[in-house]
Amino acid sequence: MSDTIYSTICPGCNFGCGLYIRENRALDVDFRKSSPANAGKLCRFGMSLPRFYKPIKSMVDGKETSIEDAAKEAAKRISAGKGSTAFLSFGNTTCEELLALRKASESYLCTGVNFEGLPKDTYQTLSVGIPYSEIENAKHIVLFIDPYEQYPLIVRRLISAKNKGAKITAVWWKDLALATENIRPEDVSKLQFTKDSLIIADFHPFSDVEQVKSVLSLAKNAGAKVTFLKPFANSTGAYIMSKDAKQKSLAQLVDDINKGTIKTLFCLESNPLELIPSEALGKLTNLIVQTGQAPDTKANIVIAHEPLYKKKGTLINNEGRAQALGGAGTNGLDALGIVAGTKFDFNSLHESVKKALGVAAIDEFTIPKYERPAYGAIQAAPKQPEAKTALVSVFNPFMWSNLSDDNDFVELSLNTVRALKLLKGGMLMIKSNGSAIEKRFKVAPVPDNVLLSCRKFGIEKGTITPVEISR
């Protein structure tokens, strides 16, 4: 059997790293040196893609079926509960499919982030970031992320900037080795921003709206550049393609499921278990998941389309760079057509994508021109953790994809280890919301009231969870 090689984009985050997937009996990853976002380099998640792409079958109520029959049954159930279905996708698929989803979505579309809580004139700044090459030429970079953990391929750009003389300030819970200055989030008001500063933050469904507004406001007041990185491949495409659609936030969606006004949830390439509390999911009459790799949740209907690397279509990364996938598959699009009661034509959706971007062709080496309208003054009131001890979740590609990694521990300060008399190689007891878990720990340069974790333990309440700790 000969190999089939696909030129594709890593689905681990919205950095847009290009790579090859070689398919024979198993999958292999090959480097694509010509890729403008990453020049062939991949992080641990990119190298783990053969583990990420788990095979999947279409199912209706636990019985295996064809993709067409699963999509037909989904259409039947959506139509039976007219007006009580929500459609959710945070990206992870092509712009063409996202346009089709928007058309299918009646009036309830959720691309996940809380745009309702943010001023409308900041939308474009949040949706599309700046070219990575501008990071390399910045004089002062202020990080509101942990680049090593969350968006690893940006580290090369930061090191290049530093080698050219850039000062790097990390506003983070842990001292970062590449930073020339490390300050804690609660001390950000002491920091001097200027028009030469470039702020790098991130934006995702669990982002604290006040924190996002605060970052936007710091940039505005100083005339600094700001760029928001995003955790889902093609998040930028999801925002651009649904720019004019009325959207609901994830919080609103959870509320509506709990109230019973939403009874059916259709998720396109977005894992509901990662995003929605399981108590809320349990209240749904129908959970319909359309995806290219095995979901880790029990859905009433699974519509199994091709994995991302086999698809035909367009992804847009953090920079706004549009990239064509090298596959030929459109069975995801065809299934969305059955769900919507229409037939979607790839070519006409592709024309709409190009029109939205103002380009004649998708060329990964030329970033389309985006308008970046100025936004008005913003009032923000970011909260700092008040709890004696807080568990801070550092969302990274493994965490978002629920893919196991070797990081099943928390990081805590040496002072905390001494105060609790923790033993080397021993365990730390963490209590929250009536649950108690035991975890391995590692000493790190973090504040004494913070535990950092790159893994979900099932006791979290958003990004910052008040906890009690003991030996």
- Provide, rounded to whole angstroms, the least separation between the CB of residue 166 and ligand SF4: 20
* Cα angle 419-422-428, degrees, rounded to a multiple of 5: 105
Residues 373 and 122: their CA atoms lie apart, in Å, by 8
Q: Segment contacting ligand SF4 (CB under 6 A): 10-18, 56-64, 263-271, 453-461? A: 10-18
- Provide, rounded to whole angstroms, the least separation between the CB of residue 327 and ligand SF4: 17
Residue 12 contacts ligand SF4 per CB under 6 A: yes
> Which residue lies nearer to ligand SF4 by CB, 74 or 399?
399
| Of 8, 32, 43, 89, the one binding ligand SF4 by CB under 6 A | 43
> Which residue lies nearer to ligand SF4 by CB, 146 or 256?
146
**Contact status, residue 396 vs residue 429, Cβ threshold 8 Å:** no
CA torsion sign for 135, 139, 142, 147 is: positive
> Which residue lies nearer to ligand SF4 by CB, 20 or 123?
20
Give every CB contact of residue 1 below 8 A, 6+ residues apart in sequence.
24, 25
Q: How many CA atoms lie within 13 A of 298 on its CB side?
A: 7
| Of 21, 42, 126, 287, the one binding ligand SF4 by CB under 6 A | 42
Residue 91 contacts ligand SF4 per CB under 6 A: no
> Which residue lies nearer to ligand SF4 by CB, 112 or 397?
397
> Which residue lies nearer to ligand SF4 by CB, 42 or 118?
42
Residue 10 contacts ligand SF4 per CB under 6 A: yes
- Provide, rounded to whole angstroms, the least separation between the CB of residue 91 and ligand SF4: 12
Pairing of strands 301-304, 286-291: parallel
- Provide, rounded to whole angstroms, the least separation between the CB of residue 375 and ligand SF4: 27
> Which residue lies nearer to ligand SF4 by CB, 10 or 452?
10
Q: Which of residues 358-397 bind ligand SF4 (CB under 6 A)?
A: 397
Residues in the interface with ligand SF4 (CB under 6 A) total 14
- Provide, rounded to whole angstroms, the least separation between the CB of residue 62 and ligand SF4: 32
Residue 325 contacts ligand SF4 per CB under 6 A: no
> Which residue lies nearer to ligand SF4 by CB, 402 or 449?
402
| Of 36, 46, 320, 327, the one binding ligand SF4 by CB under 6 A | 46
Residue 17 contacts ligand SF4 per CB under 6 A: yes
- Provide, rounded to whole angstroms, the least separation between the CB of residue 171 and ligand SF4: 21
Q: Segment contacting ligand SF4 (CB under 6 A): 27-35, 39-47, 300-308, 428-436? A: 39-47
Residue 237 contacts ligand SF4 per CB under 6 A: no
Give every CB contact of residue 251 below 8 A, 6+ residues apart in sequence.
114
Residue 200 contacts ligand SF4 per CB under 6 A: no
> Which residue lies nearer to ligand SF4 by CB, 149 or 256?
149
Residue 60 contacts ligand SF4 per CB under 6 A: no
What amino acid is encoded at 436 in this protein? A
Residue 45 contacts ligand SF4 per CB under 6 A: yes
> Which residue lies nearer to ligand SF4 by CB, 155 or 420?
155
> Which residue lies nearer to ligand SF4 by CB, 73 or 269?
269
Residues 273 and 25: their CA atoms lie apart, in Å, by 30
- Provide, rounded to whole angstroms, the least separation between the CB of residue 326 and ligand SF4: 16
Q: How many CB atoms lie within 10 A of CB 70?
A: 28
Map residues 137-156 to x or -, x wherever contact with ligand SF4 holds by CB under 6 A: --------------xxx---
**Contact status, residue 347 vs residue 94, Cβ threshold 8 Å:** no
Two structure tokens written together for 49: 């893609």
- In the block, tokens 């004019």 appear at 244
Two structure tokens written together for 159: 């090191």
| Of 6, 7, 15, 320, the one binding ligand SF4 by CB under 6 A | 15
- Which positions touch ligand SF4 (CB under 6 A)? 10, 12-13, 15, 17, 38, 42-43, 45-46, 151-153, 397
